[in-house]
Amino acid sequence: MKKLILLFIFLSYQAVSQEVYQTHQVDSQATPSGGLSLFNQFLSSNVHVPFRSSVNGIKAKVFVKGIVETDGSITGIEILKGIDSLCDKEAVRVLGLYKAWQPAVLKGKKVRQTVVSHILFEAPAKENFDSTQWSMIYYYNEKLIQVTDPKLYKYRSIIHLDEQGYYDRDIVYEEIKNDKWKQVSTVPFRRKELWYKIQDEPGTDSVKAYELSAEDGYEVNYVPFLTFQEDGKRLSYREYRTLGKALLQKKYYLSGMLKEVESFDDSSSIRINFYANGMMKSVIKTPVLNVENFQESKILSAWKQEGAQVVKNGNGYWKFNTTTVQEGNTVLVEEGALTAGNKTGKWIGKLADSTLYYTELYENGKLQEGTSFVNGEKISYKNKALQPKFKGGLTEFYKFLGQNIKYPSEAARNRISGRVYLSFVVCEDGSLCDYEVIKGVRRDLDNEALRVVKEMSGKWEPGVMRGQKVRVKYNLPINFQLQ
């Protein structure tokens, strides 16, 4: 009899613990961590409006219902009022990614609660979309300026799309002659298989992926670079004006949730980071790279993973994790005070095992003095970081290139020109290694650019980070242009 009673009590407890409450039945309702504004920003940042649904433009909401669990996740998502099957599916996907709910509370205990939310799908009509060719078609005048007046049409580009709205073949350029469009050139489409390096997700080092791109032999990138997992989830998105000059880039968690989005202008970038549960992590403004001295970023806002804001309008105290190159990319925990977005007072950095790694003193965001502690060595410094430099400066650098580059004879005879983009690592002793042609023109020009760069080995002053010489990756364009 005792066993039956115990079993009955256990089953009764389990039934109570699984009960789902409505908003009016709890003492404290389930709410998004950090507030409704951040939750809406999470939704808008993660929604991918289905291409078919947006062709004619869209501005509508999907209303959904779900159960906020006691661990902050949401389950049992249902559509209350939808738009179409594609948008409805996307609404369920996005809401399911968000695991930063503050659960409901009843009599001092966390309980499950039903919530209702809406997700906005908004996109302008695809004015350049041609449904007969299932392509985006852009028209240009004789000066290659995009136009909409048919009387001014001289050229056009045709970007064919797949069902999801992603380009899937070469971009075609045509010129109108005698009232007929004739192909004049193409921009090669590429689907590259690769292993994608994963950061900040324990247990996974890299995953199989593929990258889509279309670019010509010079600087122009005609469509964004897109990287996907094998199952179609996004890993990254990069949009450029020209090679090396980004407009927008995004990184995603393996779940398909946005991890980081960074937008650029000529002087700085704004980067927004998210925790793995969907809670916003930080908003950071970073100046353009200074080739002489490292410039600190401004931390505009920051939150803890559970939703508490620790930096507001640039003021507060921030503790966050980064990595340190000197210690083999191990975790570095940094913390200190901020005023108007700038570091102020004493900042300290510790390795994951709490070993002191550095102490730094700041005034209005400028480093006054710092001390690093590595392998038992104590090093003092005034500059946090110094970029690698060619000995003698830029004048000697360009002089070296001018005196050593030999234009390949066959390329010269055929009037072949272009810009070769290379990368290499400046090592701690000033030598160079890990050479790579990022973007070439043709083999003879690529090989000549690579040969000249290798001749530079030993002619560099190494980069410095917190008083220590470090390896730094350097990108370099070499231009081959006939007079």
Question: Consecutive 10-residue runs of the chain (483 residues): their mean pLDDT?
Answer: 43 56 96 96 96 96 98 97 98 98 97 98 95 94 90 94 93 94 91 90 90 66 84 90 68 96 87 96 83 74 96 95 67 93 95 92 93 88 89 91 91 87 91 87 90 94 89 87 79
Q: What pLDDT is recorded for position 37? A: 95
CA 128, chain centre distance (Å): 27
Length of the chain: 483
Structure tokens at 217: 């032999």
Q: What is the DSSP string of 150-196?
A: GGG--EEEEEEB-TTS-B-S-EEEEEEETTEEEEEEEE-EEEEEEEE
Residues 77-126 have pLDDT tens digits of: 999 999 999 999 999 999 999 999 999 999 999 999 999 999 999 999 99
Q: What pLDDT is recorded for position 270? A: 93
Q: What is the DSSP letter of 325?
A: T
Residues 234-281 have pLDDT tens digits of: 999 988 765 445 688 999 999 999 999 999 887 888 999 999 999 999
Are residues 141 and 147 in contact, defined by beta-carbon separation less than 8 angstroms? Answer: yes
Q: What pLDDT is recorded for position 44? A: 95
Q: What pLDDT is recorded for position 222? A: 62
Q: What pLDDT is recorded for position 126? A: 94
HEC states along 3-67? Answer: HHHHHHHHHHHHHHHCCEECHHHCCECCEECCCHHHHHHHHHHHCCCCHHHHCCCEEEEEEEEEE
As a dihedral over the C-alpha atoms of residue 367, residue 370, residue 374, residue 378, rounded to 10 degrees, the angle is 160
The topology under which CATH files domain 389-480 is 3.30.1150
The topology under which CATH files domain 20-123 is TolA/TonB C-terminal domain (3.30.2420)
> Measured between alpha carbons, how far is 442 from 250 in angstroms, rounded to an integer?
31
Give which of 75, 1, 80, 68 is closest to 32, Cα–Cα: 68
Are residues 453 and 446 in contact, defined by beta-carbon separation less than 8 angstroms? Answer: no
Give which of 436, 453, 438, 428 is closest to 225, Cα–Cα: 438
pTM of this structure: 0.81
Are residues 98 and 39 in contact, defined by beta-carbon separation less than 8 angstroms? Answer: yes
Are residues 164 and 51 in contact, defined by beta-carbon separation less than 8 angstroms? Answer: yes
Report domain extents, the chain: 20-123, 129-187, 279-386, 389-480
> Measured between alpha carbons, how far is 196 from 238 in angstroms, rounded to an integer?
15
